[in-house]
Amino acid sequence: MRHGWLLDLDAAPQRLREHLAASNARQLGRYAEALWRFWFAHLPGARLHAAGLPVKDALAVRGEFDFIVSLPGLSEVQHLEMAYKFYLYCPPGDDFSRLFGPNAADRLDRKWQHMLDVQLPLSQTALGRAALPQDVGQVTPRACLQGWLFYPLATGSTAPIAGVSPAHWRGWWCRSDDWSSHGAPWTELAGAWALLPRRAWIAPAAIDDPQAMLSPDACRTRIDAHFAASSQAQLVAGLQRAPDGIWRETVRIFVVAPHWPRGSAAT
Amino acid sequence: MVPMHKLQAMVAAQPRGTPRTPPLWNELVDPDVRALAALMASPLLIAEHAAPIATLTDA
């Protein structure tokens, strides 16, 4: 069902484009939120009761429900708190506190605890229930934390992290000074490279323009130029040419500043 | 630095989760639709929480 729905949407994506334009979804988090909203609003069998619903105490906003939605196959109305994240595993240790966002102030343990302790319980409070749409009684709260985890390329360590689903999607990360050194291992991981803009971070890359492909040297130059002016992490995809002529991602690497994750209160 | 044989093993071992069917996004062209498909198919990160939303793999 979803397969056909997505193929139809791909053939005529205008309504999704209009929805995203109206959602003002420039930040990656807002972009993911807008995609979910579109999905819940259009998926056959689903019913979106509310999205971004504020919970107010008199005039003060005490919180917000991401989504109140009925989904096919689930009898109860769902209160979904959603997040799509990119975390980089930074040993030592094997717990959630060693998983940092590209902005190291963001950490998996803090995010998960906030979802469990603050966001989910809200719909079970009197204040939260009062904010629900009139046609919704009880809701089942669920946290949906999705995304990618990245492991240190310098050591090749992919040791299991306690509590993390083994099915998660993954890539590698390295610091920009390691990336720039000659003989760096990443150059052997793929035939061509591309820097991914933020909105291309969610799906594995597929690029049909050969001119957009970078050689290892050209990619190194682009990364060097970026970090000479900025400390923002860059996501780089390694690609191989598929039989259909499309360059498809086979590996992805986050390149971070030389001192990451130091320099933030998170460490 | 990581030795070459280990690098090759790293590439081979780089799974995209454990989809039971070929990734649908390889059939999709529009970047936003591809992002939507990937978002729908992404496994949850936390092991203790069963997926509340059916993924593409059971479509």
Tens digit of each residue's pLDDT (9 = 90 or more) over A200-217: 999 999 999 989 999 999
Regions of chain B where pLDDT drops below 50: 12, 15-20, 50, 52, 54-59
Domain boundaries, chain A: 45-162, 168-267
Alpha-carbon distance of A77 to A75, in angstroms, equals 7
Q: A5, A43 in Cβ contact below 8 A? A: yes
Put simply, whether A80 touches B (Cβ < 8 Å) is: yes
**Amino acid present at A62:** R
**Amino acid present at A70:** S
pLDDT at A115: 94
pLDDT at B3: 55
Q: How many CB pairs under 8 A join A and B?
A: 152
For helices A28-42 and A14-22, angle between their N-to-C axes, nearest 10 degrees: 130
pLDDT at A74: 82
Regions of chain A where pLDDT drops below 50: 264-267
Chain A residues in contact with B36 by the CB 8 A cut-off are 6, 9, 16, 35, 38-39
List pLDDT tens digits, range A53-77.
999 988 899 999 999 999 888 889 9
pLDDT at A154: 85
Q: What are phi and psi of A251, to 5 degrees?
A: -155, 150
Chain A residues in contact with B56 by the CB 8 A cut-off are 2-3, 6
Residue A87 CA, distance from chain mean position: 9
Question: If contacts are CB pairs under 8 Å, which of residues 128-187 in chain A contact chain B?
Answer: 142-147, 149, 153-156, 158, 163-172, 183-185
**Within a 13 Å sphere around the CA of B32, how many CA atoms are in the beta-carbon half?**
21
pLDDT at A28: 94
